[in-house]
């Protein structure tokens, strides 16, 4: 039996990191990068390291001894602060951390990076009623989305020129729960469930013939917003949850008394 892979997960204490640890603990061992908060549910087999994703030397050290990286960590929140503060966080931390992770992967011979991008890279398409496909031009709806678009572009460079496999997941609404938590009309769901998110991550890690790719991270029910064709065909992604399922529509219907 082959030895289990160990993944470095940045932002391991966040809601996406928590879901990945929960749903993939039987598949992988983890090296958890935490900055301020250390998760309470750390497995005995996990390694916890403390570090700042904007610190190049710290990231080069953190990446040592892992088989893949799931880069979730970021400092910038899309709705927090002024435009100038958002730009500062995007440039100083989010963009810098992408370079640090990709370069650390190259230096340490880590073959794959899964980058948590966002649907806001094409957010203006959604506002204009256009179904987004990964091959369409980026149309960010803010500084946060623009910063993630840079992370995708840099990932493409590292995949093409440096031999690091990079798979970018444009994650939609993620509440960390096993239900969407709000009403979505048919075709208009924006929800990514924890287990579908985890599935996307492990399929990205294990699909070795994809050197670079951009995939929308959403569960079923959002086909009027995002095209999942390449995720299905290239990764074998088979989402099991539906944010616009009739049971959720009945539970969350806006006119429900």
Which active-site residues does the annotation give? 144
Helices marked H in 109-255? 123-127, 143-162, 194-206, 229-230, 246-252
Q: Which residue has the tokens 């992988």?
A: 28
Burial of 88 (0-12, 13-18, 19+ CB in 10 A): middle
CB atoms closer than 10 angstroms to residue 131: 15
CB atoms closer than 10 angstroms to residue 129: 8
**CA 223 distance to own-chain centroid:** 19
CA distance 248 to 256: 12
Q: Write the CA distances from 172 to 20, 117, 123, 184, 225, integer angstroms.
A: 16, 9, 10, 13, 10
Q: Find the length of the chain.
A: 257
Tell me which H or E stretch contains 221: none
Q: What is the SS3 assignment for 134?
A: coil
């Amino acid at each position: 039996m082959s030895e289990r892979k160990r993944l470095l997960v940045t932002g391991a204490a966040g809601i996406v990191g928590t879901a990945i640890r929960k749903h993939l603990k039987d598949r992988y061992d983890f090296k958890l990068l935490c900055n301020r908060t250390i998760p309470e549910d750390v497995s005995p087999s996990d390694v916890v390291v403390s570090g700042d994703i904007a610190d190049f030397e710290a990231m080069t050290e953190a990446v040592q001894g892992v088989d893949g990286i799931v880069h979730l960590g970021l400092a910038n929140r899309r709705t927090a602060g002024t435009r100038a503060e958002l730009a500062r966080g995007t440039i100083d931390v989010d963009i810098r951390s992408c370079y640090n992770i990709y370069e650390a992967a190259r230096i340490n011979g880590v073959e794959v990076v899964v980058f948590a991008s966002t649907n806001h890279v094409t957010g203006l398409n959604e506002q204009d009623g256009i179904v987004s496909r990964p091959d369409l031009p980026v149309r960010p709806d803010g500084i946060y989305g623009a910063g993630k678009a840079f992370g995708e572009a840099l990932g493409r460079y590292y995949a093409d020129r440096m031999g690091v496999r990079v798979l970018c997941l444009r994650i939609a609404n993620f509440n960390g729960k096993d239900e969407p938590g709000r009403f979505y009309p048919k075709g208009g769901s924006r929800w990514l469930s924890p287990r579908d998110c985890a599935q996307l991550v492990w399929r990205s890690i294990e699909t070795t013939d994809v050197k670079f790719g951009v995939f929308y991270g959403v569960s079923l029910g959002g086909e009027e917003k995002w095209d999942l064709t390449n995720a299905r065909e290239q990764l074998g992604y088979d989402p099991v949850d539906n944010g616009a399922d009739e049971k959720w529509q009945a539970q969350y219907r806006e006119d429900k008394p």
